Amino acid sequence: MMTQAFYSGISGLKSNSFGIDAVTDNIANINTVGFRGYRTEFSNMFEEMIHTQSGGTSVNSSVGVGVGVQTSTMITSNGSLFLSNRNTDLAIDGDGWFGVQGEGRPVYTRDGAFNFDADDDLVTVDGFHVLGFMGNNFQPDFKTLPDGTVDKNYVLTETLDEIKLGEIGTQEKLRFPKTLTYPPVPTSTAKFFGNIGTDPIVRSLGASVIDSNNTKNTLRLEFTKNTVQNPPGSQWSVVATTQTSDGKTVYDTKKGSVEFDATGALISTSLTSIDNNGVSVAIDLGREYSGIISVNRPADTGSSLTDGTIGGDLQGYAINQNAEVIATFTNGRQSSVGKIAIFHFQNDQGLERLTGSRFRESPNSGEALFFKDENGNPVNGTTVVNFKLENSNYAMTEGLTELIILQRAYDASSKLVTTADQMMQKALSMDA
């Protein structure tokens, strides 16, 4: 029995020491972003039934030789979210893991403290590349400058609101160009709206139109009521002019006619298009009451609506709540150019722990996977929040309580070893 006491005491010291180490590690990382706490589970090492005269009853007793550490399990509950001042700081509000490129194979984490490095690659604090999918919607437009250096500029080829996830295993490092240009889109249509009235006074309407050289020009319409009218409607002449914004250069002038019915609704026009420095612009005056009208009310300044976009240079990258990496340009336009992937596992607790906030897949966790929608398309399947980070999921109150319990169990095991030693010494002295 004294030998069993030694075994029980020593195993208790080792097991509770392991538990104390786990709790102190949890407490030490209480403010570590994305930290996942661990709980220690214990079990009997060996056990022997003690048979008594009441052997067949429920009062049977047993004696063991101590306690051992059975396993250490990850706490999978989410930590609280706290505000940050960067839109590249992300938190997963639900299930899932960010993927970063480790040494040789991906590493998974809940720590979303990301940033764009000097090369505009999306990386972690210590330089690991964040994994996801590129939009592939820009291409190089390199130019050799007079001094022989190469201007490595890229041009956006398509404006995307959202980027779809690919299949698992095809994810890539999120790397973006330092210089990116939003190409100019020449104006192809100009729509006009307004009331030119019924008085025989020249009425003018204008619109800004963009040519292929990324220059914003002016399209001007002048309406003049014909001297000879053919009732019951009214007839007007219209002159369209395209010119530079300062008016020094005129690109084209077109003349036409418009006719309104007795109620002022537009019924016909012969002015259909005009040249804007080599680009044809369709002139849309509407139909009936949908564009230009001529009614006996005070004339208004009118308005216009044109398509086309002035080109712009990259202002910077940001991340929105859909985990899309958004490029913003000086012309006010935006486009998604990449998407951060959120990975999932069949058994999160089976992940192999590398640090307090980084893990690697193992046979117990299963391979990483993507959630899929009803059509079988990969999706992130969880909410990503920007301007926030996830704190440790281990509570200080729980840690202090566990620490007290484990420390008392450690003291009891130490006392058991001391008592067994004293009993052994007394037995030896009695034998002498």
Q: Which pLDDT score is estimated for 422?
A: 74
Does the CA dihedral 315-319-159-284 come out positive or negative? negative
What's the mean pLDDT in 6-25? 73
What's the mean pLDDT in 43-65? 58
Q: Which pLDDT score is estimated for 397?
A: 78
Q: Rg for the chain (alpha carbons), in Å? A: 38
Q: Which pLDDT score is estimated for 59?
A: 54
> Residue 107, class by beta-carbon neighbours within 10 Å (0-12 exposed, 13-18 middle, 19+ buried)?
buried
Q: Which residues pair with 281 in a beta bridge?
A: 274
Alpha-carbon span 422 to 432, nearest angstrom: 15
Q: Which pLDDT score is estimated for 218?
A: 96
> Residue 349, class by beta-carbon neighbours within 10 Å (0-12 exposed, 13-18 middle, 19+ buried)?
middle
Q: Which pLDDT score is estimated for 43?
A: 65
Assign 381 a pLDDT band (cuts: 50, 70, 90).
confident
Q: What is the pTM of this model?
A: 0.76
Q: Which residues pair with 124 in a beta bridge?
A: 114
| Residue in the structure block whose two tokens are 């249509």 | 189
Residue 17 has pLDDT above 80, yes or no: no
Assign 254 a pLDDT band (cuts: 50, 70, 90).
very high
Name the residue among 128, 111, 108 with its Cα closest to residue 367: 108
Pairing of strands 154-156, 180-182: parallel
What's the mean pLDDT in 295-301? 86
What's the mean pLDDT in 208-226? 94
Alpha-carbon span 364 to 348, nearest angstrom: 9
* Digit-coded pLDDT (tens) for 132-158: 999 999 998 877 777 777 777 899 999
Q: Which pLDDT score is estimated for 321?
A: 84
Q: Which pLDDT score is estimated for 242?
A: 96
What's the mean pLDDT in 208-223? 94
Q: Which pLDDT score is estimated for 58?
A: 54
Name the residue among 372, 429, 420 with its Cα closest to residue 167: 372
Q: Which pLDDT score is estimated for 340?
A: 96
| Residue in the structure block whose two tokens are 């195993």 | 11
Contact 128, 100 (CB under 8 A): yes
398: which residues sit within 8 A by CB, 6+ positions away? none
Pairing of strands 279-284, 189-195: parallel
What's the mean pLDDT in 45-57? 56
For residue 389, what is the enclosing H or E element?
strand 388-390
What's the mean pLDDT in 100-110? 88
Alpha-carbon span 52 to 59, nearest angstrom: 9
Contact 26, 40 (CB under 8 A): no
Q: How far is CA 166 from the centre of its chain?
A: 16
* Digit-coded pLDDT (tens) for 338-373: 999 999 999 999 999 998 899 999 999 999 999 998
Q: Which residues pair with 74 in a beta bridge?
A: 38
Residue 61 has pLDDT above 70, yes or no: no
Q: Give the domain ranges of the chain.
A: 2-77+393-431, 81-182+313-390, 189-306
Average pLDDT over the chain, rounded to whole?
Answer: 87
Q: Which pLDDT score is estimated for 300?
A: 83
Alpha-carbon span 224 to 248, nearest angstrom: 24
Q: Determine how many CB atoms are found less than 10 A away from the CB of residue 301.
A: 10
> Residue 194, class by beta-carbon neighbours within 10 Å (0-12 exposed, 13-18 middle, 19+ buried)?
buried
Alpha-carbon span 132 to 380, nearest angstrom: 10
